[in-house]
Amino acid sequence: MTIAPAVGPARVLGTMVAYGFEKIRLADELALARRLGAQVLEILPDWRVMPAASRLRAQVAEAGLTIHSAHGCWGSQAIGAPRVDLGHPERAVRGPSVADLKQCVDWLAAAGGSCLVVHPGGLSEPIETAARTGALAESLTALADHARGTGVVLCVENMPPGVHPGSRMAPLFDLIAALYRPELALAVDTGHAHIAADAASETRAAGRLLRTTHVHDNNGRQDAHLPPGLGTLDWTAWIAALDAIDYRGPIVLECIRHLRNEPESLNEELLVRLNALTRSSARDASGGRP
């Protein structure tokens, strides 16, 4: 496979790493990040144990890397809430969800990161969209108030089909734009977008509010979290979409579990693909699959 030289300024490459889990060593995760050529990290903490932010910050700095973001609590991956759902119509459910994510904001600020990726809600029915949109707005406003002055921005992530609102980016854009808070932005997940619609159009829909990314591949049906190029996503179109909205943030991989479990997939071909993804207006001869 031949890839033509990319042109334009490079975007920074990042990757998600797990932290605080009993069977995953942070040192191994950081070594994997360096092999990828990553410069920044998104942290997936085991929120149930609230691992030390100061220790993480020191180890990441020692490895020559920077903490960009963290994935906030979601669903059953909670701190104190039975289940995190920012869009739940009942305040009794939303309250503990917001309380958990306030702790995530504080943790990320202590770790030195700037973007907390949050889910807009859980599985729901289309008929619930209006009620859930109002509930989500209330939750995000409370979180924005808490984040004010911390340097942390809450980035709402697009979801796979079945989350209302949340599975499509345009309604999320409209909501965040209407709230008009500097503490609120969007995160595009390429795998979710590829299942719900397509990554390029969903990225264009995020527009000026896009602050960060979750980058992985799949077959358009299952959220497999594959490295770019191992699925059917049109990466050339996606890069063009990033250029169209003038996105200058990091390209953050969310496929570290696959790379951890199948280390042979971290090969020269993948590194070439990643280099193409971090460049503007990359073109290749493989029909849009760097």
At 124, which CATH number?
3.20.20.150
Binned at pLDDT 50, 70 and 90, residue 279 comes out as: confident
Residue range 198-242, pLDDT digits in tens? 999 999 999 999 999 999 999 999 999 999 999 999 999 999 999
Q: Quick check: is 36 in a domain?
A: yes
Classify each residue of 131-158 as buried b or exposed e, where b means 16 or more C-beta atoms within 10 Å of its C-beta: ebbebbbebbebbbebbeeeebbbbbbb
Residues in CB range of 103: below 8 A, 6 or more apart: 50, 79
Average pLDDT, rounded, for the chain:
93
Q: Quick check: is 290 in a domain?
A: no
* pLDDT at site 243: 95
Instruction: Give me the domain span that covers residue 272.
Output: 13-277
Task: Please report where in the chains the tokens 């991956």 appear, as a residue.
Answer: 77
Phi, psi angle pair for 224, to nearest 5°? -85, -15
Binned at pLDDT 50, 70 and 90, residue 154 comes out as: very high
Percent of the chain with pLDDT over 90: 92
Q: Quick check: is 116 in a domain?
A: yes
Q: Quick check: is 287 in a domain?
A: no
For the chain, the first-to-last Cα distance in angstroms comes to 9
Answer whether 207's CB lies under 8 Å from 165's CB: no
Q: How many domains, the chain?
A: 1
Closest CA to 83 of 92, 10, 181: 92
Burial (CB count within 10 angstroms: exposed 0-12, middle 13-18, buried 19+), residue 48: middle
Q: Quick check: is 110 in a domain?
A: yes
Binned at pLDDT 50, 70 and 90, residue 287 comes out as: very low
Binned at pLDDT 50, 70 and 90, residue 8 comes out as: low
